[in-house]
């Protein structure tokens, strides 16, 4: 049985863990490197980075109060978007934090050179020794870690206040001109580069399981730490730029800009004093990095996405010693072998991406309406604040360069590979985002269905139903087509246009084929006789053209038809309507298209409406309801889902069906089939039905040859008559939305 972590971090200790992770390399090492990218406007870069971080900080504050467990960023993204994005976020955020801790210890070595004569070859060993010490401190316990953080952070902030207060009196105005030396692109590049300076805000959520009164302390600690560091960074960098000449500050080897600034206005004593503080600050940052990053393997292990040993908590110290040990080992490897300074922007780039995910995770939670998601704090300005944060982060990513983007992509590939080969078979849960997509899709579909069935905005209304026929349409088939059209039109108060289309060769003029022939008169007489048996008005006519399929579409457009009905004629390669590929009509018709495969239409008691993925299309439901109402029949909705469908998918499907049944004006029932043999099970479900209705989409012949077409397969195998429905083209149905919907269902 998994052990719980002790809740012994108060508000101040929680704030200092976050600030301790931020008041390190971000201020003591990065300003000079960032100034080389944008000049004095590096001041604005720190402020802008803080503003882009703030939405994610607010989002994390809300999510942490709803899920106060160890894991932070990983846990939120996993629960919101599913285990695959969660794995990527967990590995990426963990890697970035460890990377930043190693970077802090490398920066620490540069400051040690200021007041201690240490051969450069030994700096690595100094960093390794400090790394081992911090690993031991974290293993001993969080309480000791929190107390160490509080003391160091308090000292560092006090010194920074003095640094700013004294340094303000020494700044030179000329150092701020020109302000934007590399244009807007340089400013954005520098903003992305220093973005990692604010990554420490994630550490609060990472140790949420150990925070006292998390509903109160977590949001306060996150907001206070971000706002404090925005102020500290901006004012401190303002002083650094104002007192250090640009050539010295922007030297690519300058890793001690704070000490350089202190020397400029406080002499050697100030430089040495600042170096001592920098050592403490960078030590604090590395310590906080180990503390929070070690919780990512812990949380992923609990979710079966990492080895189970990482979730073990020490009986003696009440800390996850295996997770801390593994994190510490990677930290030591980075210090020993990797030129961390040159790769700092990689950590920043991935932090930006993770923060974009965080904003998306909050939207997923809000839209999913999950019962258990009940945060004590709610982020203000939803969803515009989150949209700003996500958009701002993506803009910064475009300015980071190919190397940074390539590194982030590499971490994503590693996360995907780890999930597919290790975690995929060990977890069955899914994210709230899928549930949110389902609920949103279901809600929109139900609203559209209600309008279609009740208000006449979808199928016919006071519009027209076009029945397209030709000389090959027999009297029996015409009766079946008019039965469907008249039933729909009667329910919707519309008119049926029974039109026979005739195609003549291009070399003949259309006027030469307009004379009435005996078969034309027979068609009109036959249609009038059939019309007498229906309540809906039916108008008959003939259309002569050189291109039948275009004549059908043009006529449908001219009369503003809302439904085109025709006979599905199976051919060797593909089905046809009036001699043309049915897919052409689906792609070009200005309205919904319904194809009839007639196997008898004398009496209808049960209508089976079938679907494989997602909710039922409004047109299918409206057609079924109209026919059932005229025949006094019952509708049976049959939905097929995968045999291993999640509980969330099954619940969403059943809830949708319950609401759908309430919208129909006839007797209904619903069935959900959990199966791996979708086509066979759906065919079997139509055994007692007199009419089956299912959706169809346009496919190329090559696609059907390789992948098949379930709708065609089902319509081939059932014994009853079939209506294949293709909905009208929707402007809102983008390719991206179609992909998201397919993933969700």
Residue pLDDT, tens place only, 185-238: 889 988 888 888 887 776 666 566 667 777 778 788 888 888 888 999 999 999
Question: Can you spell out the DSSP letters for 134-164?
Answer: HHHHHHH-HHHHHHHHHHHHHHHHHHHHHHH
- Least confident among 2-16, 156-170, 638-652: 2-16
Cα angle for residues 236, 242, 244 (degrees, 5° grid): 100
Residues 6+ apart with CB under 8 A from 390: 55, 356, 359, 360
- Tokens standing for residue 647: 């509980």
* pLDDT at residue 732, rounded to an integer: 45
Residue 21 has pLDDT above 70, yes or no: no
* pLDDT at residue 565, rounded to an integer: 93
Quickly name the fold that domain 459-505+514-595 has. Rossmann fold (3.40.50)
Using CA atoms, how far apart are residues 143 and 140, in angstroms rounded to an integer? 9
What average pLDDT does the segment 570-587 reach?
81
Beta strands in 523-666 (DSSP E): 538-545, 561-567, 576-577, 580-581, 592-597, 606-611, 634-642
Domain with CATH 3.40.50.620 in the chain: 431-458+599-745, 459-505+514-595
Domain with CATH 1.20.1740.10 in the chain: 11-429
Instruction: Decide: pTM greater than 0.85.
Output: no
* pLDDT at residue 643, rounded to an integer: 80
CB 557 within 8 A of CB 590: yes
Pairing status of strand 592-597 against strand 561-567: parallel
Which phi and psi angles does 108 have, rounded to 5°?
Answer: -60, -40
Identify the band that residue 731 occupies on the pLDDT scale cut at 50, 70 and 90.
very low
Highest mean pLDDT among 10-14, 86-90, 547-551: 547-551
Class of CATH domain 431-458+599-745? alpha beta
* pLDDT at residue 723, rounded to an integer: 92
DSSP state of 233: H
Beta strands in 624-680 (DSSP E): 634-642, 668-675
Identify the band that residue 553 occupies on the pLDDT scale cut at 50, 70 and 90.
very high
**Percent of the chain residues past pLDDT 90, beyond the cut:** 12
What average pLDDT does the segment 347-360 reach?
84
* pLDDT at residue 593, rounded to an integer: 92
Quickly name the fold that domain 11-429 has. Amino acid/polyamine transporter I (1.20.1740)
Identify the band that residue 736 occupies on the pLDDT scale cut at 50, 70 and 90.
very low
What average pLDDT does the segment 397-405 reach?
78
* pLDDT at residue 4, rounded to an integer: 46
Give residue for tokens 């052990």.
Answer: 3
Residues 6+ apart with CB under 8 A from 330: 98
């Amino acid at each position: 049985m998994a052990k719980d972590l002790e809740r012994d971090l108060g508000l101040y200790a929680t704030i200092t863990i976050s600030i301790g992770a931020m008041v390190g390399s971000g201020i003591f090492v990065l300003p000079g490197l960032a100034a080389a990218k944008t000049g004095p406007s590096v001041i604005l870069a720190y402020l802008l980075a803080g503003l882009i971080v703030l939405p994610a900080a607010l989002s994390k504050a809300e999510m942490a109060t709803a899920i106060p467990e160890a894991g932070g960023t990983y846990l939120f993204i996993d629960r919101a978007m599913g285990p695959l994005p969660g794995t990527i976020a967990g590995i990426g955020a963990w890697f970035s934090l460890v990377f930043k801790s190693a970077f802090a210890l490398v920066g620490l070595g540069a400051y040690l050179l200021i007041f201690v004569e240490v051969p450069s070859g030994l700096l690595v060993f100094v960093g390794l020794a400090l790394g081992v010490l911090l690993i031991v401190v974290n293993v001993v316990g969080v309480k000791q870690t929190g107390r160490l953080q509080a003391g160091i952070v308090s000292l560092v902030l006090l010194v920074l206040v003095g640094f700013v207060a004294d340094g303000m009196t020494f700044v030179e105005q000329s150092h701020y001109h020109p302000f934007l030396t590399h244009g807007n692109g340089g400013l954005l590049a520098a903003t992305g580069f220093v973005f990692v300076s604010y990554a420490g805000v994630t550490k609060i959520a990472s140790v949420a399981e150990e925070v006292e009164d998390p509903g109160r302390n977590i949001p306060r600690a996150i907001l206070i730490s971000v706002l404090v560091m925005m102020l500290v960074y901006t004012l401190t960098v303002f002083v650094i730029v104002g007192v250090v000449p640009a050539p010295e500050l922007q030297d690519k080897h300058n890793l001690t800009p704070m000490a350089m600034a202190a020397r400029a206005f406080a002499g050697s004593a100030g430089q040495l004093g600042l170096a001592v503080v920098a050592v403490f600050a960078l030590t604090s940052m590395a310590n906080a990095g180990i503390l929070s990053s070690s919780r990512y393997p812990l949380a992923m292990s609990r979710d079966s996405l990492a080895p189970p040993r990482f979730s073990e908590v020490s009986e003696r110290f009440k800390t996850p010693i295996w997770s801390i040990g593994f994190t510490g080992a990677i930290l030591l490897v980075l210090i020993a072998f990797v030129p961390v300074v040159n790769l700092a922007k990689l950590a920043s780039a991935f932090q930006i991406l993770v923060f974009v995910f965080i904003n998306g995770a909050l939207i997923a939670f809000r839209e999913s309406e999950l019962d258990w998601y009940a945060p004590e704090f709610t982020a203000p300005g939803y969803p515009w604040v989150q949209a700003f944060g996500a958009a701002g982060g993506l803009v910064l990513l475009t300015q980071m360069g190919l190397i940074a983007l390539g590194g982030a992509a590499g971490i994503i590939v590693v996360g995907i590979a780890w999930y597919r080969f290790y975690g995929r078979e060990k977890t069955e849960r899914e994210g709230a985002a899928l549930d949110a997509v389902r609920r949103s899709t279901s809600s929109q579909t139900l609203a559209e269905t209600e309008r279609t069935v009740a208000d006449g905005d979808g199928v016919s209304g006071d519009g027209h139903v076009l029945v397209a026929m030709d000389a090959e349409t027999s009297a029996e088939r015409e009766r079946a087509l008019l039965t469907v059209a008249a039933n729909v039109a009667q329910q919707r108060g519309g008119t049926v246009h029974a039109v026979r289309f005739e195609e003549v060769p291009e070399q003949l003029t259309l006027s030469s084929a307009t004379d009435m022939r005996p078969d034309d008169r027979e068609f009109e007489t036959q249609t009038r006789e059939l019309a007498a048996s229906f309540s809906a008005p039916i108008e008959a006519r003939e259309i002569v053209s050189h291109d039948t399929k275009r004549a059908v579409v043009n006529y449908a457009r001219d009369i503003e038809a809302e439904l085109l009905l025709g006979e599905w004629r199976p051919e060797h390669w593909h089905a046809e309507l009036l001699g043309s590929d049915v897919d052409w009509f689906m792609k070009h018709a200005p309205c919904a298209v319904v194809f009839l495969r007639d196997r008898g239409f004398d009496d209808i008691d049960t209508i089976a409406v079938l679907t494989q993925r997602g909710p039922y299309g409004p047109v299918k439901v409206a057609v079924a309801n109209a026919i059932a109402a005229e025949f006094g029949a019952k509708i049976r909705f049959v939905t097929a889902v995968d045999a291993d469908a999640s509980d969330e998918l099954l619940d969403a499907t059943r809830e949708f069906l319950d609401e759908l049944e309430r919208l129909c004006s006839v007797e209904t029932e619903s069935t959900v089939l959990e199966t791996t043999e979708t086509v066979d099970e759906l065919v079997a479900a139509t055994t007692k039905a007199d009419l089956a209705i299912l959706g169809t989409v346009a496919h190329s012949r090559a696609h059907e040859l390789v992948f098949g077409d379930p709708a065609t397969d089902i319509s081939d195998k059932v014994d009853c008559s079939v209506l294949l429905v293709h909905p009208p083209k929707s402007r809102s149905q983008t390719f991206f939305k179609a992909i998201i919907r397919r993933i969700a269902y």
